[in-house]
């Protein structure tokens, strides 16, 4: 462990000035605004999980001595080193340190221990924009206009700094307790050659700028065709996000990544009848196959985007002085997160925190944040599920669901792969609880949808009943039948 830690520190020399006077090495030409502190994970009271990524988790964390609440991003050193993600981690830390805009989450400080790196970020108590869309079904045009305008304002700043975010989507658009938007997750950020951000030599992401990153449903066609990244990439994702706000679903949603990519390349967009002409026109222009023709990317810059009729009435000079839309609260939520959403870490930090006050038993990080694991690229789901895949095997659908029995129900991770393979896993013990025997014959394997959230998987020997809180029963049916008919 000690050797691994030293090896990691040698690769991750991004420490900055320390506010407590510790002798921490730093670059002579670069001093961090957000200091590297000598804190321990035990200095924080951990609560609700905000999100889960391939090598990180974001958790609500209250500093015990000050009572200040942060969104603590906890990154697994071993996984980062193994998967060669060190440059991405360094770049995100350096970029966040230099960005200063009300529409971007702020980095306050960092610290580390033998197991993890920690970034203390601004806590956005309003949650994800994705959750607002889910709770309301879809947003009104006035609500979508408000959020889209705040995203445009922040994106204009990001692009003016010579950065491409590359993962704009409702899950990465966070809301303050007042309801204002903050762009988060700069783990895929790409600095352009003329960037105004100071980037250390050993903190650069992919050189070609055309590596596939981001989430399947929001990836622009030029990235799928291996073209270099441009500011237009983020504007395509903005168009997808506006569509999702107004409809409740992403424009290219389908049962598998492959089908999503086919729809993106074909630009297969279908507008619901309730969309206004202004909304349709804005989305249509943002989803132009030519990145340079998207409003905001052309010669007129962001002026062309802000002047679009969809944004009529927006006071761009006093954007954050407006009253945000009312937030829809989570059913049964309590201040600081419900007990079901709290996280009991089993081995983070040198002190190996075992128990959080007010929480009993071990809660799987994925179980607690099942809403985070969505149909997306393999890189965007928790790495723990990779142990159930064979080399070359990829996930088509993955979801935390309830397996319903006569008197009880138990949460399991339901996984469908391209093998094809259909299994469900105990998320706490990380063992396969059931392997549903695959058959291309619908007499031997069929799926029956009872409600948008409840479905049955039927085989000759048994019938399994599941409930998907994200109401994706029809997606499961389409994905399984699509594989059977391939």
444 is catalytic: no
Q: Is 79 left (phi over 0), alpha (psi -120 to 50) or beta?
A: alpha
Between CA 161 and CA 194 the distance in angstroms is 9
- Exposure of 254 in the CB half-sphere (CA atoms within 13 A): 19
pTM: 0.68
Task: Work out the burial of residue 169: count CB atoms within 10 Å of its CB; fewer than 13 is exposed, 13-18 middle, 19 or more buried.
Answer: buried
Q: Are residues 262 and 189 in the same domain?
A: yes
Q: Are residues 404 and 296 in the same domain?
A: no
Between CA 400 and CA 363 the distance in angstroms is 13
Considering the domain boundaries, does residue 378 fall inside one? no
Q: Are residues 153 and 253 in the same domain?
A: yes
Q: Are residues 34 and 143 in the same domain?
A: no
Catalytic pick among 167, 234, 254, 288: 167
Decide which of 89, 122, 155 is a domain's last residue.
122
- Tens place of pLDDT per residue across the chain (486 aa): 444 445 555 555 544 444 443 433 344 446 789 999 999 999 999 998 887 776 788 999 999 999 999 999 999 998 888 878 888 899 999 999 999 999 999 999 999 999 999 999 999 999 999 999 999 999 999 999 999 999 999 999 999 999 999 999 999 999 999 999 999 999 889 999 888 888 765 555 554 444 456 678 899 999 888 888 899 999 999 999 999 999 999 999 887 778 888 899 999 999 999 999 999 999 999 999 999 999 999 899 999 999 999 999 999 999 999 999 999 987 654 443 433 344 444 434 443 332 223 332 333 333 333 332 333 333 334 567 778 888 777 788 888 899 998 778 899 999 998 889 999 999 888 899 999 999 999 889 999 988 888 999 999 888 999 998 888 888 898 889 888 887
Considering the domain boundaries, does residue 375 fall inside one? no
Considering the domain boundaries, does residue 217 fall inside one? yes
Alpha helices in 270-343 (DSSP H): 277-286, 302-306
Q: What is the pLDDT of residue 371?
A: 30
Q: Are residues 18 and 109 in the same domain?
A: yes
Q: What is the pLDDT of residue 390?
A: 83
- CATH code assigned at 206: 1.10.510.10
Strands (E), 246-324: none
Between CA 52 and CA 74 the distance in angstroms is 10
b (16+ CB within 10 A) / e for 105-136? bbbbbbbbbebbbbbbbbbbbbbbbbbbbbeb
Between CA 165 and CA 230 the distance in angstroms is 10
* Token pair 């704009």: residue: 168
Q: Are residues 90 and 211 in the same domain?
A: no
DSSP calls for 23-89: -----TT---SS-B----GGGEEEEEEEEE-SSEEEEEEEETTT--EEEEEEEEHHHHHHTT-HHHH
Decide which of 284, 318, 352 is a domain's last residue.
318
Considering the domain boundaries, does residue 369 fall inside one? no
Q: Label the pairing between strands 56-63 and 69-76.
A: antiparallel
DSSP calls for 160-179: HTTEE----SGGGEEE-TT-
Q: Are residues 186 and 240 in the same domain?
A: yes
Please give the structure tokens belonging to residue 107.
């980095």
Considering the domain boundaries, does residue 149 fall inside one? yes
Collapsing DSSP to helix, strand or coil, 431 comes out as strand
Residues 6+ apart with CB under 8 A from 119: 72, 73, 75, 92, 93, 96, 107, 110
Give the closest residue to 185 by CA, choosing from 175, 176, 172.
172
* Token pair 């930090």: residue: 349
Considering the domain boundaries, does residue 191 fall inside one? yes
- CATH code assigned at 473: 2.30.29.30
- Answer for the pair 369, 51: CB distance below 8 angstroms, yes or no: yes
- Answer for the pair 253, 169: CB distance below 8 angstroms, yes or no: no
Q: Are residues 117 and 143 in the same domain?
A: no
DSSP state of 56: E
How many domains does the chain fold into? Answer: 3
Between CA 198 and CA 41 the distance in angstroms is 29
DSSP calls for 279-342: HHHHHHHHT-SSGGGSTTTSTTTHHHHHTSGGGTT--GGGGGGSPPPPPPPPTT--TT--GGGB
Decide which of 122, 152, 177 is a domain's last residue.
122
Phi, psi for residue 310 in degrees, rounded to 5: -60, -30
Kindly report the CA angle at 11 between 83 and 213, in degrees rounded to 5?
40
Q: What is the pLDDT of residue 10?
A: 54
- CATH code assigned at 49: 3.30.200.20
Considering the domain boundaries, does residue 363 fall inside one? no
Q: Are residues 304 and 194 in the same domain?
A: yes
- Domain housing 87: 2-122
Q: Are residues 74 and 181 in the same domain?
A: no
Q: Are residues 143 and 289 in the same domain?
A: yes
Q: Are residues 136 and 106 in the same domain?
A: no
Considering the domain boundaries, does residue 381 fall inside one? no
Taking the CA atoms of 118, 119, 121 and 124 in sequence, report the sign of the dihedral they define: negative
């Amino acid at each position: 462990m000690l050797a691994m830690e030293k090896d990691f520190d040698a690769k991750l020399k991004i420490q900055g000035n320390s506010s407590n006077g510790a002798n921490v090495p730093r670059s002579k030409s670069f001093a961090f605004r957000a200091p590297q502190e000598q804190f321990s994970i035990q200095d924080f009271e951990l609560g609700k999980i905000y999100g889960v990524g391939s090598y990180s988790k974001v958790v609500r964390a209250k500093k015990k001595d000050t009572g200040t609440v942060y969104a603590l991003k906890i990154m697994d050193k071993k996984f980062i080193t193994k998967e060669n993600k060190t440059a991405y981690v360094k770049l995100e830390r350096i970029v966040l340190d230099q960005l200063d805009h009300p529409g971007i989450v702020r980095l306050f400080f960092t610290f580390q221990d033998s197991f993890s790196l920690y970034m203390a970020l601004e806590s956005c108590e309003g949650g994800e924009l994705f959750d607002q869309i889910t709770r309301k079904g879809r947003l009104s045009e006035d609500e979508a206009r408000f959020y889209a305008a705040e995203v445009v304002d922040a994106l204009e700043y990001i692009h003016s700094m010579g950065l491409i975010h590359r993962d704009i989507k409702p899950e990465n658009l966070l809301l303050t307790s007042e309801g204002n938007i903050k762009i988060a997750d700069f783990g895929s950020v790409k600095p352009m050659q003329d960037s105004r951000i100071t980037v250390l030599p050993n903190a650069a992401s992919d050189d070609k700028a055309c590596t596939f990153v981001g989430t399947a449903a929001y990836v622009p066609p030029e990235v799928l065709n291996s073209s270099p990244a441009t500011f237009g990439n983020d504007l395509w994702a903005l168009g997808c996000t506006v569509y999702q706000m107004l409809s409740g679903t992403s424009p290219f949603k389908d049962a598998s990544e492959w089908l999503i990519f086919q729809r993106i390349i074909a630009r297969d967009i279908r507008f619901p009848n309730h969309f206004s002409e202004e909304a349709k026109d804005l989305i249509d222009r943002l989803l132009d196959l030519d990145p340079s023709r998207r409003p905001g990317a052309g010669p007129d810059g962001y002026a062309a985007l802000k002047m679009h009729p969809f944004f009529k009435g927006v006071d761009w000079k006093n954007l954050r002085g407006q009253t945000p839309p009312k937030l829809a609260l989570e059913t049964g939520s309590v201040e600081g997160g419900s007990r079901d959403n709290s996280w009991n870490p089993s081995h983070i930090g040198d002190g190996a925190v075992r128990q959080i006050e007010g929480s009993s038993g071990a809660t799987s990080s994925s179980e607690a944040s099942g809403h985070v694991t969505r149909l997306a690229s393999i890189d965007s789901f928790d790495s723990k599920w990779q142990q159930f895949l064979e080399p070359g095997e990829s996930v088509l659908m993955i979801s935390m669901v309830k397996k319903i029995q006569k008197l009880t129900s138990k949460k399991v991770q339901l996984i469908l792969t391209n093998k094809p393979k259909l299994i469900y896993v105990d998320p706490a013990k990380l063992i396969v609880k059931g392997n549903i025997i695959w058959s291309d014959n619908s007499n031997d394997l069929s799926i029956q949808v009872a409600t948008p959230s409840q479905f049955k998987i039927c085989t000759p020997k048994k019938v399994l009943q599941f409930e998907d809180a994200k109401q994706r029963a029809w997606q499961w049916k389409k994905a399984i039948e699509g594989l059977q008919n391939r």
